[in-house]
Structure 1
Amino acid sequence: MSRLLPDELWEKIEAHLPPQERSPRGGRPAVPHKQALLGILLVAKTGMQWNALPWEAFECSGVTCWRRLRDWQDAGIWQRIHQDLLRELDWIGGIDWSRGVVDADSIPGKKRGDCTGKNPTDRGRLGTKRHVLTDARGTPLCVVFSGANRHDSVMLEPLLDAFHGIKRPGGPGRPKKRFKKLHADKAYDFPRCREALRQRSMTPRIARRQVESKDTLGKHRWVVERTMSWFDGFRKLRIRDERNLEHFKALHSIACIFICFRQLQRFS
């Protein structure tokens, strides 16, 4: 299972997990964290249902894996691992602060829940919209969600505000979160979006409707499209079947962790 979870990444994740202790009441020992994590990753990668997870593979039930996913999300563990990997990347120059890129795409949904809405481009079917901020290399920095009926431009400021920046370990000053330029497609071509970027001391590079060719700024925006395709490599993210938004966020954090780990290997 080293292909599913490289040893180096497991060491980084294990450092954030709570210690496992035997219950004073006795009983069956808890499933080791690594086995539960492997089950979570198998579900995330293949898109299978939790109750379809084969016990023989990890000696761990789908219910146990789902509970660990939930508990670690509630404890903020997935987000902390993602932030730690971003700090490591920034430390070795792997984050390109010259340009940021934002984009959004819609994910079909099977169930109602937080951040679901009727998708006007999909015959009014339920869906969730995923809004992503990356650096110039496509490293996912922040992901927020809305109903599929929300316009991309409305979520620009919530997306930027949700990114709390990257602070180097022991470094002085505030976390770094400002790009020199921020690229976006024509869905963000509104005065309020440009003003929001200027207020944050970023130069807006937003494609203009009916003026600029789609190829003019595409040479910088393509990286976020590639990041979206990296997300789709985790089949559990292609269709939202998690009613609870926090569980869906956790699966996206796992995808971000793996993408950042690959970027870290590239620059190490």
Structure 2
Amino acid sequence: MAKPLLPDELWERIEPLLPPPKPRRFRFPGRKPIDDRKALTGILFVLKTGIPWEDLPQEMGCGSGMTCWRRLRDWHRAGVWQRLHELLLAELRGANRIDWSRAVVDSASVRALGVGEKTGPNPTDRAKPGSKHHVITDGGGIPLAAILTGANAPDVTQLEALVDAIPSVRGKPGRPRRRPRALYADRAYDSAPHRRRLRSRGILPRIARRNTPHGSGLGRYRWVVERTLSWLHKPRKLRLRTERRSDIHEALMSIACAIICFNVLASSFC
């Protein structure tokens, strides 16, 4: 039997984060707004299948595709997805599932249909428009932060931004944590200034160097981020970018990262 798009356990975490609905007018209130859970189910269906918003089946009872699109936009502006990600990271830390001994960074390019915000000519795809997903994970592959840029953005330019994007993770007594002990990366991140800046943050850089033979041994630690990128691109809406607005695509990225964290958390209790 197929798994539900929105399990009860996930909805129980999301519902308190949603902003309260707008008060309805006493006179001429109009149609009753679609239920938040149904709208979120429609958003997850579009994320998973990759269909256009306007093609969302009415038989699902999730309202129109544009209603779901507007809810996604408004909830992203309200910071719902970022708070959900931080909540799940805190639960993972409380369950001792976050490996702070190291973090791993990498990126992957996706094709963009047409131009849009944060797109650029992809140097690996005959200069066709595309975007790049930059991800930093813990030592076990749990996504800590993700950034969207154009496909022509060099990986090394987003290294510091990724480290700074890691939220303060609670979940245990004492101060929240947001810095790993070491950072692993491939040759695309090789830069002496960036190594110095990582050390100034108290992070040991373990970055492969250019113009050296392969076989550094770092790949046995870096493979987890490649697996996380494959998880991130499992939803078809993230495998091929169809959204011209970057905030909508970033909202879908945040939801996908939160779902990965939720799946890891659920597996720890099985």
Task: State the identity as a percent.
Answer: 50
- Supply the AA of the counterpart residue of 2:67: T
2:198 equivalent in structure 1: 197
- Taking the aligned partners of 2:48 and 2:182, their CA distance within structure 1 comes to 34
2:158 equivalent in structure 1: 155
Tell me whether 1:115 sits opposite 2:118 in the alignment.
yes
- Taking the aligned partners of 2:132 and 2:254, their CA distance within structure 1 comes to 16
1:132 equivalent in structure 2: 135
Number of aligned positions between the proteins: 266
For structure 2, the residue ranges without an aligned partner over 5 or more in a row are none
1:112, distance to aligned residue in structure 2 (A) = 2.1
Query: 1:114/1:59 Cα in 2 relative to 1: closer, same or farther (>3 Å)?
Result: closer
Tell me whether 1:206 sits opposite 2:207 in the alignment.
yes
1:203, distance to aligned residue in structure 2 (A) = 1.0
Provide the aligned C-alpha RMSD in A.
1.6
1:2, distance to aligned residue in structure 2 (A) = 5.4
1:187 equivalent in structure 2: 188
1:236 equivalent in structure 2: 237
- Supply the AA of the counterpart residue of 1:122: D
1:84 equivalent in structure 2: 87
Tell me whether 1:40 sits opposite 2:29 in the alignment.
no
Give yes or no for contact 1:39–1:53 (8 Å, CA) kept in 2.
yes
Give yes or no for contact 2:41–2:62 (8 Å, CA) kept in 1.
no
Give yes or no for contact 1:108–1:240 (8 Å, CA) kept in 2.
yes
CA deviation map 1:218-268 (0-9, x unaligned):
111010000000011111001111111110010011101110101111223
CA deviation map 1:182-220 (0-9, x unaligned):
100111122122112111111111112232425611111
1:178 equivalent in structure 2: 179
Give the ranges of 4+ consecutive aligned residues of structure 1 lying more than 4 Å apart after TM superposition: none
* TM-score, normalised relative to structure 1: 0.94
Query: 1:43/1:209 Cα in 2 relative to 1: closer, same or farther (>3 Å)?
Result: same
* TM-score, normalised relative to structure 2: 0.93
For structure 1, the residue ranges without an aligned partner over 5 or more in a row are none
2:148 equivalent in structure 1: 145
- The worse-fitting range, judged by mean Cα deviation, of 144-153 and 246-255 is 144-153
